[in-house]
Amino acid sequence: MFSETAKKNADACRFCWMCRHVCPVANSTGNEAHTPRAKGLLTSLVERGSDYTPDMAEIMYQCCLCGACSNDCVTGFEPPVFIREARTHAVVNGYVPPSVGPLTESVLENGNIYGKPASEKMSALKDVIGNLPQRADTLLFVGDAAAFRSPETALAVMGLLKKAGANYTVLPDEPSSGAEIADLLGYTEDVRQRAFGTAKALSDTGASVIVTLDPKDAEIFMQHYPKWGAAFSERVETATSCIAALVRSGKLKIRPVQNRKNVTYQDPCRLARDLNEEAPARELIRATGMNLQEMFLHGKLTKCCGGEILREYSPQTASLIAQDRLFDAKRTGASAMVTSCPGCTTSFRKCGDRSGELEVLDLFCLLDECS
C-alpha cells in the first residue's frame, strides 16, 4: 500500500518521543493518536496486514504537515512522507473524513480549498492588475491564501514593487501551484500534471524572476517541481528575500515607524524549515525601527500557527494551535507579532488574542506604510 520510502520512514521511529513534544496538533488536542509516532505505528501496522480504516484516515488528517517532527528527529524519521501517502489512500478508498471531503472536492474542481471558482481568484486585485503590463521582468505569484483570504497583503507587495521601480506583473488568471492539493491528496499524478501546466503558464510570461508571496508555493516550486521535470528556467524568489534585496540595494526606502514597538516574529514553517530562510524578514523588521524580541522557539524550531488547510476542516484544533503560539509571543513582552505568510496572518487574525494584549502585523502591509 505504501511506497518503500514511506515504509522506511515509518519504521525509522525509535520511540524517543521527541516528536510527541513538538507536534502542534498533539500538544493542542492532548490526543496520543495525533502524535507523529502514532501515525508511524499505524502505517507500520497496515504494512504488516492490518486493514486501513476510516478511523485511521481521520487520524492522518490531524496534522499540519509543518515538519517540526522531521526537524527534531535524529533518526531520519519524516512523518509527512507517509502521512501524505496515507491521505492519498484515503481518497482512493473513499475514507476521506466528512469534514475534509468538501475541501478535496473543491481543490479538484476549482484548484483551491475555499469553494470558490478559479475565475474569482484574482477578483479583489483586478483593478491593480489591470494597470500592469502583460509581460515584465518580474512575475509576482500571489497564491491562493493571499488572493482569497488576505488580498491586502498582495496589494502591499505590489505597492512595494512599484515604489522600488520594479518592472513586474501579475497573471490575471493565475493558476494554483498545487501546494494545497498536494497537502490534501499527496503527491499524486494529478498534482504533477498541474505542476507542468502552472510551470508553462508562468514561463510563458517571459519573466526572468518569479517572486512567490506564499512560502508553501515557493517550497513546491523550488523543491518539488524540479523532481517532476517541471522546473523553471526562471529564478524563483520568496517575497521576503526579494523585498529585503530591494531595501538593501537602496531601491526601496523604508522610514522607521514613529511609535516604535517591541515586536516578535512568527517564522513560517515552510520558509524557515524547508527553505532555510530566516534572515530577510528580520532585516525588514529592523528596517522599520521596531525592536525585535525573539520567541524561544524560532527559526527552524518555529511552532506552527495551525495553517490555512487545517483551519478549513478542523477550525477548533487550528484555533488551539494558534492560541498556543500567541501565548509564546506574549511571553516575549512584545506588543505585536509580525507575520510574513498569508496563511499565518489569516490564522492568527481569525483566532485572535483573547486578552487583547497582542496585535498581529502583516510584514508587507507594515513596510508599505513605512515606504
Residue 13 region, left (φ>0) first, then alpha (ψ -120 to 50), else beta?
A: beta
- Quote the CA–CA distance of 62 and 28 in Å, as a whole number: 11
What value does the CA radius of gyration of the chain take, rounded to a whole number of Å? 20
Q: Which three cell numbers stand for residue 36?
A: 507523529
In the chain, the domains with their CATH numbers are 4-93 (1.10.1060.10), 118-246 (3.40.50.1860), 253-369 (3.40.50)
Contact residues for 282 (Cβ-Cβ < 8 A; gap 6+): 265, 292
- Count of helices and strands (H, E) across the chain: 21, 8
Alpha carbon distances (Å) from 60 to 11, 40, 91, 265, 281: 16, 10, 12, 29, 32
CA 341 from centroid of its chain's CA atoms: 7
- Quote the CA–CA distance of 190 and 108 in Å, as a whole number: 9
- Quote the CA–CA distance of 365 and 371 in Å, as a whole number: 10
Q: In 3-state terms, what secondary structure has residue 138?
A: strand
Alpha helices per DSSP H over 231-307? 239-249, 269, 279-287
pTM score? 0.94
Alpha carbon distances (Å) from 254 to 114, 177, 286, 357: 35, 31, 10, 27
- Output the pLDDT for position 357: 78
- Quote the CA–CA distance of 154 and 147 in Å, as a whole number: 7
- Quote the CA–CA distance of 213 and 161 in Å, as a whole number: 12
Q: Helix 36-47 crosses helix 79-93 at what angle (to 10 degrees)?
A: 60
Strand-pairing partners, residue 336, are 263, 359
Q: Which three cell numbers stand for residue 225?
A: 517541481
- Output the pLDDT for position 352: 66
Are 345 and 265 within 8 A, CB to CB?
A: no
Are 183 and 313 within 8 A, CB to CB?
A: no
Residue with cell 493571499: 146
- Output the pLDDT for position 265: 98
C-alpha closest to that of 22 among 10, 35, 9:
35
- Quote the CA–CA distance of 268 and 304 in Å, as a whole number: 7
Low-confidence ranges of the chain (pLDDT < 50): none
Q: What sign for the dihedral angle of Cα 81, 212, 278, 245?
A: positive
- Residue 78's φ and ψ, nearest 5 degrees, are -125, 80
- Quote the CA–CA distance of 194 and 203 in Å, as a whole number: 14
- Output the pLDDT for position 78: 87
